[in-house]
């Protein structure tokens, strides 16, 4: 029987907040917030999709860090996990893959200071311009993995311009009310390529499917045999014209 691995984004692909659910549609709790209250939900189509994928191995490829991923109730992930926009690659026991640890050991020291400096500059700039946005450096497994900025669209538009001008060599990801400044080791496609190479060894021919909603998901989707994107996703809005 063919091995099937589904590399899937989570938020706005397999689950979303209540505000993004269709009014009146049935919903199933999919993830909790820090206080254990329902935060994200599946709609009926997502439930049916998960049923369809029941025989496949689902691998999350998410912007969530491990702590946030642990609050996802559905689906459950029993194999590899890619967290923090690709910065962390874990095995089934939530241990950092040694081969990926070598990547981080080589690259994190050069970028940790830059993330800290960007945090200070961005915080000061937001305060100086009277904007309402929250800034923090996200850590995963004790490593700084990216700068997160959350806020309303007009404020975030201004912050995106400020951050982009100061983040040479890294990437800036914007989707809705979230902005992330990503160092080179936080790339979903790098993490997925690392796992595909590991999984497609001699004598094995797995089928790889990618699922995602965001433009930053496109590079890892292109590595897979097939790609799936939700109706109304950022990919559909901005590329399917």
Element containing residue 135 per DSSP (H, E) = strand 133-140
Strand partners, 115: none
For the chain, what is the radius of gyration of the CA atoms? 18
Convert the pLDDT of each residue in 43-68 to its tens digit. Answer: 999 999 999 999 999 999 999 999 99
- Cβ contact 88:100 at 8 Å: yes
Report whether pLDDT(103) > 90. yes
| Predicted confidence (pLDDT) at residue 112 exceeds the cutoff of 90 | yes
> What is the per-residue pLDDT for 174?
86
pLDDT of 102 > 90? The answer is yes
Classify residue 56 by burial, with Cβ atoms within 10 Å: 0-12, 13-18, 19+.
Answer: middle
pLDDT confidence band for 153 (50 / 70 / 90)? confident
Residue 25, judged by CB atoms within 10 A of its CB (0-12, 13-18, 19+), counts as exposed
Q: Average the pLDDT over 27-51 and give the result.
A: 96
- Strands ordered across the beta sheet of 143-151: 133-140, 143-151, 178-182, 171-175
Classify domain 4-97+186-239 at the CATH class level: alpha beta
As a whole number, mean pLDDT of residues 32-47 equals: 96
Give the β-pairing of 143-151 and 133-140: antiparallel
CA–CA separation, 181 vs 150, rounded Å? 12
pLDDT at 115: 97
Torsion angle of the four alpha carbons 218, 222, 224, 230, in this order, in degrees rounded to the nearest 10: 40
- Which residue, 51, 52, 46, 53, is CA-closest to 31? 46
Q: Where are the alpha helices (DSSP H) in the chain?
A: 44-52, 66-69, 98-128, 153-164, 188-199, 218-221, 234-239
Q: Is the pLDDT of residue 1 over 80?
A: no
What's the chain's average pLDDT? 94
Kindly list the domain boundaries of the chain, sorted by start residue. Answer: 4-97+186-239, 105-182
Q: How many CB atoms lie within 10 A of CB 1?
A: 4
Is 105-182 in CATH node 3.30.70?
A: yes
Cis amide leading into 17 (omega within 30): no
Across the range 17-23, mean pLDDT stands at: 90
Q: Of 183, 159, 185, nearest to 170 (Cα)?
A: 183
pLDDT in tens, 155-175: 899 999 999 999 999 999 887
Confidence of residue 177 (pLDDT cuts 50, 70, 90): confident
Q: Give 115-137 pLDDT, tens digit per residue.
A: 999 999 999 999 999 998 999 99
Residue 182 or residue 240, greater confidence: 182
């Amino acid at each position: 029987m063919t091995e099937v691995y589904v590399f899937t984004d989570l938020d706005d692909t397999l689950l979303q907040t209540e505000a993004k659910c269709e009014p009146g549609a049935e919903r199933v709790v999919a993830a909790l917030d820090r206080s254990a209250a329902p935060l994200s939900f599946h709609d009926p189509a997502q439930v049916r999709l998960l049923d369809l994928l029941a025989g496949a191995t689902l691998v999350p490829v998410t912007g969530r860090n491990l702590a946030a991923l642990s609050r996802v109730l559905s689906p459950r992930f029993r194999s590899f996990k890619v967290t923090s926009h690709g910065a962390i690659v874990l095995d089934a026991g939530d241990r950092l893959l040694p081969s990926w640890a070598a990547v981080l050991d080589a690259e994190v020291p050069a970028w940790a200071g830059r993330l800290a400096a960007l945090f200070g500059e961005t915080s000061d700039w937001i305060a100086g311009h009277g904007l309402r946005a929250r800034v923090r450096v996200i850590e995963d497994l004790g490593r700084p993995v990216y700068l997160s900025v959350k806020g309303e669209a007009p404020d975030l538009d201004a912050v995106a311009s400020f951050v982009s001008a100061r983040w040479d060599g890294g990437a800036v990801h914007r989707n809705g009310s979230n902005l992330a400044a990503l160092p080179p080791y936080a790339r979903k496609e790098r993490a997925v390529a690392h796992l595909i190479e590991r999984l497609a060894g001699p004598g094995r021919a797995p089928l790889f499917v990618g699922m995602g909603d965001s433009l930053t998901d496109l590079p890892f989707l292109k590595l897979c045999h097939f790609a799936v994107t939700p109706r109304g996703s950022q990919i559909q809005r901005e590329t399917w014209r």
